[in-house]
Amino acid sequence: MHTFLPIAYFQNQFVPFDQAKISIATHALHYGTGAFGGLRGIPDPQNPNQILLFRLDRHCRRLSDSAKFLHFDLPADKIYQVIVDFVKKNQPTSSFYIRPFVYTSDLGIAPRLHNIEKDFFVYGLELGDYLSPEGVSCRISSWHRQEDRSLPLRGKISGAYITSSLAKTEAVESGFDEAILLNAQGKVCEASGMNIFVVRRGQLITPGPEQDILEGITRDSILTLARDLGIPVVERPVDKSELFIADEVFLSGTAAKITPVRKIENYNLSSERPITHKLKDKLAAITENRDPDYKDWVCAISLVQ
C-alpha cells in the first residue's frame, strides 16, 4: 500500500488528494496521450524545516519538453512554482516522490492531439528504496525498447510504458527483480524504468541517446560526476555479452537512484563494486546537500510559513 501525500494539485488548484479524480472517459486513459515526470524529495538532514529536491529545474524542463509532444505549451517555470507550492502545502516529514503529469483531459474518443483539452496535475507519495540497495538480479527481456521513429523517446510519454510493464512482469514472474531491454538493433538499451551503466577495466560505459534510451536526469548527473572524479566515460552501443563479463553493472533513475546489479541471467557479477560505490556515495552527499561543489543541483524549500 502506498501512503499518498494529503494535498494534490488538480485542475489549477490545490485540493485533498482523494478529491483529485478524473472521469473514466478521459482521453489520455484510453490512448496513452500523457507525459510524466518524477522527482524525489527528502527532509534536509541538517535542517528539519527544509525539504531538498534534486535537480528540480532539469525535471521541470524535461516535463515541459515532453508536453510539447502533446501539443501542450506548459512552461517549465510554471511547473517549478507549482511543485514548490505543492511541497509547502504538504509539509512532508519523510522521503517522498513527486509525480507531475500532463495529459489530454477531454472526454471522448478518437486518438488525436489537436482540438482537445490538456491539463496538468501533481501528486506525491512516501517512498523509500524502490529497488534493493544490496543489488538486484536481471534478465534480458523478450520485449524490445521502442524506436524513436515510432514514438518520441525524448519524452516520458505514458503510453510507452506498456513495454516497461510487460518487461518488468516477465522478469519478476520468471524469478528476477528487474528486466534489461535491448533495442531494435539488439544492443543493450535500458531497464524497465532505469538507465544502465557498465564498468569494464576502470571505464564507465553506457548506451548513448542514439540507442533509443530515455535521457535520464540521474544518468546525466552520473556522467558529470564520473568525469569530475576522473573516471573515464564512454557513451556507445553495448552488446548483451558485455554484461556477463562486466566488472560492475548498475541501474540509475530517480526512484532507483544507483542500484547495483548482482546477477544477469545465470551469470553472477562481482560483489566488489568500487566505482559504483564511489558514485553512489557522491550522489547521496549531493542530494543531502552535503557537497558544496554541487549546491546548484539542490533546491531547498523552506517549510516555515
- The mean pLDDT value for 249-275 works out to 96
Set of cell numbers at residue 190: 535500458
- The mean pLDDT value for 129-133 works out to 84
Residue 17: how many other CB atoms lie within 10 Å: 16
Residue 203 makes CB contacts below 8 A (sequence gap 6+) with 231, 232, 233, 234
| pLDDT for residue 246 is more than 80 | yes
| pLDDT for residue 305 is more than 80 | no
Set of cell numbers at residue 291: 557537497
Please give the pLDDT value at position 130: 83
Please give the pLDDT value at position 179: 98
Please give the pLDDT value at position 255: 87
Same CATH topology for 7-126 and 136-287: the answer is no
Please give the pLDDT value at position 131: 84
| pLDDT for residue 261 is more than 90 | yes
Please give the pLDDT value at position 71: 97
Q: How far apart are CA 129 and CA 297, in angstroms?
A: 21
**Dihedral sign for Cα atoms in the order 160, 220, 54, 56:** negative
- The mean pLDDT value for 192-213 works out to 97
The average confidence (pLDDT) of the chain is 96
| pLDDT for residue 256 is more than 90 | no
Please give the pLDDT value at position 65: 97
Instruction: Name which of 180, 168, 147 is nearest 265 in CA terms.
Output: 180
Region 7-126: CATH code: 3.30.470.10
Please give the pLDDT value at position 133: 84
Please give the pLDDT value at position 132: 86
Alpha-helical (H) ranges within 153-296 are 161-173, 217-228, 240-244, 274-287
- The mean pLDDT value for 211-220 works out to 97
Instruction: Name which of 43, 31, 120, 38 is nearest 74 in CA terms.
Output: 120
The CATH number of 136-287, from 1.10.3720.10, 3.20.10.10, 3.40.50.720, 1.10.357.10, is: 3.20.10.10
- The mean pLDDT value for 211-228 works out to 97
Please give the pLDDT value at position 264: 98
- The mean pLDDT value for 26-48 works out to 96
Residue 129 makes CB contacts below 8 A (sequence gap 6+) with none
Please give the pLDDT value at position 283: 97
Please give the pLDDT value at position 241: 97
The amino acid that residue 218 corresponds to is T
Please give the pLDDT value at position 272: 95
DSSP 120-181: EEEEEEE---SS-TT-EEEEEEEEE---TTTS-TTS-BGGGHHHHHHHHHHHHHTT-SEEEE
Please report, for the chain, the start and end positions of each structural domain, with discontinuous segments joined by +.
7-126, 136-287
Residue 121 makes CB contacts below 8 A (sequence gap 6+) with 8, 9, 10, 11, 20, 100, 101
| pLDDT for residue 269 is more than 90 | yes
Three-state DSSP class for residue 101: strand
Please identify which residue in the block is written with the cell numbers 478529491. Answer: 19
| 153, 27 contact by CB (below 8 A) | no
Vertex 132 angle, CA 252 and 299, to 5°? 50
Please give the pLDDT value at position 193: 94
